[in-house]
Homo-oligomer: A and B are copies of this chain.
């Protein structure tokens, strides 16, 4: 006799569970797109649900609140962005400063692909910080600190390899990189042009103490 209950389940998981997982993932993806384009305040739950095609009532089945949803969306963006940063900044086939340039080039291509409608989610949220749930401030600061540490590590490697002055304050330069970068992304969105990203990047690399 085949003991059906104990048989290892093969093939697709039970439909209801799979759907729940899929729907939750789709809601996060939809939220990611919506928030990156319109910010938190400008993004209604309705629009996010509409993109996924699920009824309004089901949102709170997956998330306790818009605040809780936003935190998951930010974490998802952070994960996506960290993978991107690691792909470029840890690429030991090229010099450390070239890695930063490759990251900028990738971001530029991404903004062009989305017709300069999508900026940086973390930058967007930073801009509207006084409208956001209180818990978001430290989350966003931590993300910037983490990104800063990654650029700083890259600059320190450039220092070790003699491409950057031993006197350079890599932590400070890394902080300034992101401060200016968010300004450049915002300007690229406004002017619908990659030129602010290019000018900013050239200036940053060119003015590094050699």
Contact = CB atoms under 8 A, between A and B. Distances in A.
B182 A140 contact: no
B190 A141 contact: yes
A92 interface: no
A12 interface: no
Contacts of A200: 176, 179-180
B41 A39 contact: yes
Contact size range, A: 35 or more
Query: Would you call the interface of chain A mostly helix, strand, loop, or mixed?
Result: helix
A142 to B, nearest CB: 11
Contacts of A140: 190
A130 B184 contact: no
Contact of A184 (B117, B179, B203): B179
Interface string A111-146: 000000101000110111111000001001100100
Nearest to A209: B207
A33 interface: no
B39 A127 contact: yes
User: In this complex, which of A42, A141, A172, A179 has the most chain B Cβ atoms within 10 angstroms of its Cβ?
Assistant: A179
Interface string A146-167: 0000000000000000000000
Interface of A: 37-39, 41-42, 117, 119, 123-124, 126-131, 137, 140-141, 144, 172, 175-176, 178-184, 186-187, 189-191, 196, 199-200, 203, 207
10 contacts: A38-B128, A41-B41, A124-B127, A127-B189, A141-B190, A176-B199, A179-B187, A179-B196, A181-B183, A182-B186
